[in-house]
Structure 1
Amino acid sequence: MSRAHKVEGWNNCHTLSWELHSHLCHKMDSTSLLPTVLDADLTVLHIECLPKDMLVKFQGKNNSECQFDYHILQREIQYVPKVRSNMAVDDFCLVEERVTGEWQRGRVVGKQNEVYTVLLIDRGEELSVDGTRVASACRKLFELPPRVISGIFANILPLGEKWSPRALNYFRSLVGIQLKGNMQTILPLQMFLLEAPKVISGVLELQLGRFIDKDTFRLIVEILKENPQPMPDLLQHKRPEFSLSTNNGTSLDVHSVLDNFQPSLPVGSLDSVKVSCALSPSKFYCQLLKRIPELEDLTECMNLHYNTVSHETGPTCDNFGLLCVAKGTNGWWQRGVLQELLPDNQVRIWFMDYGSSEAIPSVHVKKLKQDFIFAPLFSFPCSLTCLHSPDQEERKWQLTIFKQALLGHIVYAHIDWFSENEHLYYVTLQSPESAVNSQCLLQGTQICCPAFESNFTNALSKAGTYGTDSFAVDSFIGNVEQSVGGLNVKDKLKASFPIRTVKMEVESMYVAFVVNVLDPSNFWVRINKHQNKFQDIMKTINRFYNASENDDLTLRNPEPGLFCCARYSKDRCFYRAIITEMSDYQINVYLLDYGSTDSIPVFDVKVLLPEFCSWI
C-alpha cells in the first residue's frame, strides 16, 4: 500500500461518524491481526536471557517499514475519536500517556481491578494506567505492524539445563545488531518465534547450544509456557506448497519407500532412547541410544564426502518420496526424503534418521550416494500409550518424562505394541531409575564377564606404584562383588590411592610407545613389554561394553573421584578412566592408561566392573 493510500485511509478513519467509528472500533486480540509480512528485518534493542531460562527473548525495532509512515500514523491517532471500553488481556487498544497526554498504540498485558498494564507496541515499553486512559482501537490504525517486535529466538536450546556464562555474553552482544529472519509462529501476547540464521549459526559455531528442529521447538515452547492454545504456522501462509507426484498423478506413500529400512523392534523390549523430533505426545520420533554412535559415523562420512565433492549439477530429485541427501540448518548433510516443492527454489525435506522436516534451498539437495542408502533408519515413530488410558495420574507422569526427553534427557521406552495401519510404536516412557528397577539391574542380576588369562593377571599385578604426580585416592575396592547387585553406595569404585603404574628404573633403556603428548617435557609412554597384553585387555573391555546385553550399565550418580569405563569421543572406544569434573550433561574424565582427558556425555560413562578395575 502506498503512503498516499495509507494517509487517505487514516484520514477516512478520522472523518468517520461517531456511530460508524464505534462499530468498527471493536476489541481486537492477537489472533485477529496475523502479520502479513513474515520476513523480519530488525535491530535488536534488548535481550532477556537468564541462566535459569532455556528460552532467549528479545525486542527489536522493525526496519522493514518506512519510519515516516509511523510519524504520520502517530499524528492521526491523536485526532481519532476515543471510545472507552472494558478491555481484556491481549486486546489491542489506544492508551494515553500521563506526562505528554499523547495517545499510543498498545496491547493489554495485564489487568487488576481498573488498573491496566499496557505494552506500547511501537516503543516496547509498558505503562500502568487506569481505565479512563484506555480506549478501543480502530482496525485501520493497526495496518502498520508494530514498530517494536517482541519474541523468542527459535530453534536453539542450551547444551544442558541452562545457558553458560559464555552463551549469556554472546546473546547480550547482539544488542544493536541488525538481524534478518522468518517469523515462524505467533504466541500469546503477540510474541513471535523468530528463526534468525545469524543467531543459530553463531550459537552452533561457538558451541554454546544445540539446534532443535522447528516442530520440536514449538512443542517445547508450548510446554514451557504452559500454553494450551495451538500456535498458527505463519510460514504456511507465506509459502503455498505443491505436493510432488508421480507421472500418472498419484502421490507416493513414504512408508512404501522406507519399509525396507525401518528397524523391527520387538514388543516388550525396553531400550534407552533419545527423542530426536516431536510434533506432540501422540507423534514423536526416537533414536536408540546404542545406535547413535553408528549414526554419528554415518553422518561424518556423508559430510566428508559431500563437503569435498565438486559442485556438479546432479540428477534432479523429481519424484515424491525420492531418497536424497540434504544440508540442514545445522550445517550437516543428512539422509532425507523429498516431500514438497516450494516457491523461491526451495524444497521441503523430511530427514529420515531424525523424523524432522525443513524447508531448504534446492542447491543443498543432492542425490544420495549408494554407499549411504543401505544403512537402516535410525529413528522410529512413537506415540504414548497412556493417551488412551483413563488413569490421569499415569498420563501426568508420562507427560512429565516426555517433557524431560524433549529437553534432552535420556529416557527408556518400553515397546507396548506396534500399529501397522498408523506405522507407530506405542510406548511407555520410563526414567533411567525406574527402568533400572524394572530390569532388576540393582537387585543381584549376574553380569557375565570374560575371564582374564592368568599370565596377564600376574603381569599387571607386578606393576609398581608411581610417586607424587599420580591422582590421589582413598581405598582400593578389591572386595567388590562380581555383580552389579553387589555395587551399593559404600562399594562405589572411588579412587583414593596412588594409581599403580609401571615403575621405570633410572639409567635403564626401554622400548616404548608414546601414547599421549602435552609438550616435550610432559608425555606418556607404554613399555613394549606390556603392549600386547594391554591390547588384549582393551579388546576384552570393548567386547564386553559393546555387547547389547550390557547397554544398561550407565553409571548412576556419577561424581568426581569415581572409577568408570568411558567411551572416548574421538574413536568411540571404551577406556578405563576416573571422573575429574562434572558440568550439566558433560563429564570430564582422565583416561588412566593414556594420561589424556576428555569431556563426554553422561550416557558414555559406564560402571567399571571389578574384573577390569583390579588392574589399575
Structure 2
Amino acid sequence: MPLYLAPSIFPTILTIFPVPGEEKQPHSMMLPTPYLTLGMVTPPGPRALWPVDLKLTHLDWNPEATLIHFQGQYLTICELDYNILQGEIQNVPKAQARVDIGEFCLVEDVTSARWYRGRVQNQKKDLYDVFLIDHGNVLSVDEAHISSCTNDLFILPPKIVCGFLSSVLLLPDCCHSVVEQYFSNLIGRHVTGYIQALLPHKVLLLEAPDINNDLVRHGFGKHVDTDTFLLLVEMLTEAPLKQNIEPAPDLLIEKQRGQEFNLKPTSLKGYEEILSFCRPKLKCGSHATVHVTHVQNPNHFWIRTEKRNEEFEEMMKKLSEHFSNVKLEEDIIESPEPGMLCCAVYEEDMHYYRGVVVDLLEHGAEVLFIDFGNIGKVPHNLIKKIPEEFADKSAFALCCSLVNVVPNDEFWTISASDSYRRLLSNKELQVHVMAKRKTKFDVDLYLVEGGSVTSQSLSDLLIATNQAQYGKNISQNNQPLQNTEKCENWAEETNVPKVQTEKSKEPVCLKALNIKPGSEFAVFCPLIHTPSDFWCQRLDNVPALEALLVKLQDHYSTKSVPLDPEALSCAVKAPNTSQWCRGIITERRNGQANVSLADFGSSIQVSEESLQGLLPEFCVLEGQAFRCSLYNVIEPPALGWTSEASEFLKTFVEDSGSSLKCKVISQLNVRNRWLCNVVHLNNTESDQSVSNLLLERSLARVVTTTLSPTVFPESFVFSSYDLNVGSEEPVHVTHVSSHFEVLCQLDKNSSILEEIDAKICEISKVEQADSEAVVDKLCLAKYLDGKWYRGIAYPAQSPSHLCVTFVDYGNTMIAEKKHVIFIPRDSTDLLYTPMQALKFTLAWVPQDLVFADVKEWLDAAVLNKLVRAVIEAKGEDGSFKVELFDGEVSINEKLKELIHSLTPKPKMSVTFKTKGKKARQIDNGRYKCKAKSSPTSNPQNKTNKNKANTNSQMNRAGAVKSPQMKKKQNRVTSAVDTNG
C-alpha cells in the first residue's frame, strides 16, 4: 500500500496542470485533481439517472474550487480479487515505457518498492503525476519508475471512483473548517446517489440527496437545479459532458460511448443564481480593511468594513431624512417582541438607527443597534416601524471575536476590555477572517500604521503581554441575541452544524504565575536592570525549574520539534549561554523573532528558523519570571537611576541569598512593560529593607502619588498594617465568607475610613470623567444603602451589570453599570490608600465539613461587631490565621464545639461471650468498647439528636455578648452578597 498523506484541498477544479514555476519533487504524494480533457460539446438531448451505491473514502472542497470533490468504492468490491491482482502486479516483468496523459500504466512507489496500477494525470518535464486507480492518491515519479503492461492487468475495474457532488453548491462564506469536519464525518459511510453525467476518464457528477439535504439544512449550501449545475460545470471545466438515455452501464469497464451534450438553460434564472455566489462577502480566509464600532471585550466586539462604509453613510442620510418627517406619536410599534426589526432612538444623540429588539422592559425595550453592535434602553414611543427600503439591507456591523484568545481569569476584566477598546479606538485595522459561526466571526486583527499592516496580530500582542492567554474561544455564552431565528433577515448567517466536531489539537501555551497583592514568598532575582525594573523567581519553585531545564537540554540537544505557526510559546537557544530555554514570542519581523525568556525575564532576538516547538510536558510548570518594581522608590526625575543604585540592589540580592523575601504590594500596568508587581524586598535574616537602604544612601527618593501618564493601577494597595504573629487587635467584622473565614477592619484605622468616606462623597457628586482620565477596574459603586464605596469591578453575565468586590469591606454584589463610576487618575487618596478589609482565617476550625447552621451562628455572633483578634500565623496570600474573642469567650472554640455537635457520631458496639452461649453483640454505652463506623444508622434518631444538640449549642452560644462599643453606621453588609 503506498504511503498516504493527510487529505488537502485541491485549489481549484481549473488547476489541472501544475502552476508555472512550481516544481514537483520525485516520488511525492498528493490527492488527485481528476484529469479533465478540453473539448467541444454538442446540442442537448434526453438523459437518464443512473443509481449507484458507494462507500465514501474522501470528500473535500474549498471556496475557489466551487465544486465538491469525492472519492468512493462500489459496495460490490471483492477485496480478495484485488489482493490477488496486487500480487500478480509485483511479479510480472516490467518494461520502461513512455506513456501519454490519460493512458494506463504500472507505477512504482520508491519508498515501498511496490508497483500499482495507475493512469497518467499530468506531465511536466521528466516528472509524471500518476493517479493510483485502486487507492485514490497520486504518485509523482520520473520515467524510470513507470512500466507498460498488458491489458489483462486492467480487466478488473478500478477500485476507486471519483467525481463531484451534483446539484448543490456550498456558500462561499461558510466556515471552511466546520465544513471540512462535516465531510470528515462522512468518510466510510454508505451513500446512495444518481449519476447525472460523466466527464472524461470516468469522472462522475453524482447527486447524493441525503448529503445535499444535510448541507442545506446545516446552512452550508443551497440546492441548484440540474440544468443550472451542469451549465456551471461546463463553464468551470470546458469539458464534454456525457449523458446516456440507456440503463446504467458498468461504468467501471465500459468504454466511453453515447452523445456529448452542450447544456443551455431555457432562461437566465439559473445563470443569475450562479452569479449570486460571486457577490462580495466577508468570508473565511478573507482580508478586509475595517473600523471597530463597539467593543464589549476581546471576545465580543463589532466591526464595519471600509468597503460598505459609503453605503452605510448613504443609508443613514436617507434614514435621517425619513424620520425628520415622522411625528412622535406616529409609526410606533404597539407590541414589540424580541427579534423584531425596528428603528429606535439612541439616547446619546437622539437620532434614529436600525435595531432589533432583544428584551422587553416595563416602559420600553432593550434594542441592539445592528449597524454598531451596542445595546440601549429605549422608551416605547421611540421604537418605530422600520421602512421596507431600510429593512432589506443586511447589518453593517459584524460581531467578532479575537481568535484563540481567552481571558486570564474566568472573565474579561474591565481593565483588559478598556485597554483593548483604547487600542482599537479610531484606528484603521485589517481583519483576517479565520472562521464563522452563526452570528459571529472569529478573526485576527492587525493595526494599519502609515498605510502598512503591522506584522504582529492583536491576538499575539494580548497573549505576549499577559493580558490574555491562548485558548479556543469558539463557544461563548454571552451571545447578545437570544432569538436568532427571528433575526435571519438582517444578519448574514451560517447555521452551526449539528454534527459532533472533534476538538483540534491546540498549540501549547505557557502560563504565567498567578500573583496577587498581599502575596509574600522567598525569591531569587535572575535579572536586574534598575530598582524599578527587575525580575524575580519564586525560590520554592527553583528546584522544579532546574529539573525542567535539564530535561529541556537533553531533549532539544538531540531532537527537533516543528514550531506551530499559531504558537507563541517556544523553545529557544539563548545566544549568550547556548542553553535551551522556554520563551514567549513577542514579535516576528523579516524572518527575525523577538523572544522573552519566560523563566528569566530577558529578551533576545533570533531567527525564526532557530525556534522549536514547546512540548506539552514542558509547559506544566508556569513561566517562573515575573517583573517587579520597588515600592516607595522611584528614579530621580532628571537623571534616572544611577549605576550605583542598580549595583547596590544587585549586591543586596546576592548577599541575601535564600533569605530574600518579596512582598507584593500592588500591581501596575506600565506602557511598554505591561504588568509590573510593586514589591518590598527584605532580607529576613538581617531584617533590612532594600528600599530603606536606598533611601538612606540618597540613591532614591520616596515615590510621589502623582501617576506617570504611562502608568495605570491594576489593583489597590495592600497593607498588613504591621500585624505580626502574637499581635492583638480590636477588629470590626464586616463580612463572613464561610464558617472559617471572615473579613475585618482594624479598629485603629477608623480615621482612615472616615477620610475615605469623605473623599468618596466628593467624587460621587461629580459626573464620571472622560474615559482617558479614569482608572480601569478600580471603581466606586453604590450599595443598597445608597452610599458609594471603593471596589474592583469585573464583567458580569449581563452586559448592563458589573460584579463589584468592595475592597474595604470584603463582600461582593452585582451592580447596575449606572451605579458604578471609575476613579479619576488624580484621586490619589482613593487610589493609594491601602485596602481596609483584611482576610482572617479562623485557626483550628475544621474546613472540610460544611454546615449552614454554623455559618448562620457565626453571622449572628460576630458580623458588624467589635471583637479581639490574636494573630497566630501569616498566610502566603496576605491572609492571617487568627483566634477571635468576644470578651473572654473564644469564637474559634465555640465553632469547634458546634461543628463537633453536628458531626455524625460513630455507632458504638461490643461483642462478648457468655458461658455456653454464642457471641452476642450489644449496642449499649455501658460496656467498654471500641467505636466503629456503621454504614447504616437511624436517620430519624440522628436528625432529632442533631437538632437537639444544635439548639442546645446555639442557646449556649447566645450567651456571647459584645462589649459596649461605638456602633459603626452605613456598613456594607452581606445581606445580598454573592460570596456567602
Larger radius of gyration: 2
Which structure is richer in relative contact order (CA contacts within 8 A, separation 6 or more)?
1
- TM-score, normalised on structure 2? 0.26
Structure 1 or 2: larger helix share?
1
- TM-score, normalised on structure 1? 0.39
